């Protein structure tokens, strides 16, 4: 029996629901057919209640028996090591999957998250805005040429890239039809829908507990 446990918060406000990064890990497990359970830590004390498990007081983090890790990207790569479906065994395709996974995190999310934060707080920065446009324009060119990032099929690279790109503010940042079609295709996958619905249900249950 699998010992995989994904840890997240027991509740979040409505805004981030459907976007908390435990969803990435749920989605990966659903795609790979890996059994897992989800456990929670309280939202209210999150800054300090699990610093022994996540160095920055955030979620998600993952347990697999003696293996205990945080950082969603690292946890995804760990999970992908259990599944050819997420990480091809072919060495060339495996290298490309690793490359695009890091690109999603370190070339796109590294720009999109600070941009989103400044935009949301009314502090838009024209350099960051230009930088994000440039990165997304390159992706638009790539998605105009192919349906998948690696090997003509879904891999971890598509999971993480789509998860980074589906943030509403990023999605509506300019007209990029090929990228939008890619996000629509990835988020139509049954594994994504299940992961999303389960996260929404968890936080709705959290509403009821807080009200009671
Ligand atoms: N780089 C981290 C980022 C984790 C992160 O931003 N987690 C958010 C939820 S998606 C969080 O815990 N926010 C609550 C907080 O920072 O207080 C990862 O990918 O795991």
Cβ atoms < 10 Å from Cβ of 189 = 17
CA distance 195 to 200: 9
Task: Check residue 2 and give its pLDDT.
Answer: 56
Distances (CA, A) of 61 to 16, 81, 131, 205: 17, 17, 30, 21
26 pLDDT more than 60:
yes
| Radius of gyration for the alpha carbons in the chain, expressed in angstroms and rounded | 17
Question: Can the peptide bond before residue 84 be classed as cis, meaning omega within 30 degrees of 0?
Answer: no
| pTM check: above 0.75 | yes
Q: Is 158 in the pocket of ligand 1 (CB under 6 A)?
A: no
Query: Ligand 1: which residue has its CA nearest to atom 17?
Result: 58
pLDDT over 90, % of the chain: 97
Q: Considering only CA atoms, which of 11, 17, 74 is closest in space to residue 41?
A: 11
Kindly tell me if the per-residue pLDDT of 6 is higher than 80: yes
pLDDT score of 212: 82
CB distance 59 to ligand 1 below 6 Å? yes
State if residue 46 touches ligand 1 by the CB under 6 angstroms criterion. yes
Report the nearest atom of ligand 1 relative to the CA of 54: 20
Which tokens hold the place of 94? 């495996």
What the block records as the tokens of 179 is 């990228």
Query: Among 160, 174, 200, which residue's Cα sits nearest to residue 73?
Result: 160
Domains observed in the chain: 4-84+191-211 (3.40.30.10), 91-189 (1.20.1050.10)
Ligand 1 pocket check for 21: Cβ under 6 Å: yes
Given a cut of 70, whether residue 207 has pLDDT beyond it is yes
């Amino acid at each position: 029996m699998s010992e995989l446990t994904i840890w997240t918060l027991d509740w979040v406000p409505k805004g981030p629901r459907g976007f908390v990064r435990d969803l990435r890990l749920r989605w990966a497990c659903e795609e790979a057919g890996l059994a897992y359970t989800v456990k929670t830590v309280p939202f209210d004390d999150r800054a300090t209640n699990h610093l022994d498990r996540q160095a920055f007081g955030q979620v998600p983090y993952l347990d697999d028996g003696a293996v205990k890790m945080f950082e969603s990207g690292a946890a995804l790569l760990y999970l992908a090591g259990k599944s050819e479906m997420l990480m091809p065994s072919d060495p060339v395709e495996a290298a490309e999957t690793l490359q695009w996974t890091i690109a999603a995190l370190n070339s796109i999310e590294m720009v999109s998250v600070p941009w989103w934060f400044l935009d949301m707080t009314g502090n838009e920065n024209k350099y960051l805005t230009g930088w994000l446009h440039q990165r997304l324009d390159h992706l638009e060119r790539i998605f105009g040429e192919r349906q998948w990032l690696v090997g003509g099929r879904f891999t971890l690279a598509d999971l993480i890239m789509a998860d980074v790109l589906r943030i509403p503010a990023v999605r509506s940042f300019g007209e990029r039809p090929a990228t939008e079609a890619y996000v629509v295709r990835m988020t139509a996958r049954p594994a994504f829908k299940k992961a999303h619905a389960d996260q929404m249900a968890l936080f709705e249950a959290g509403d009821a507990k807080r009200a009671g």
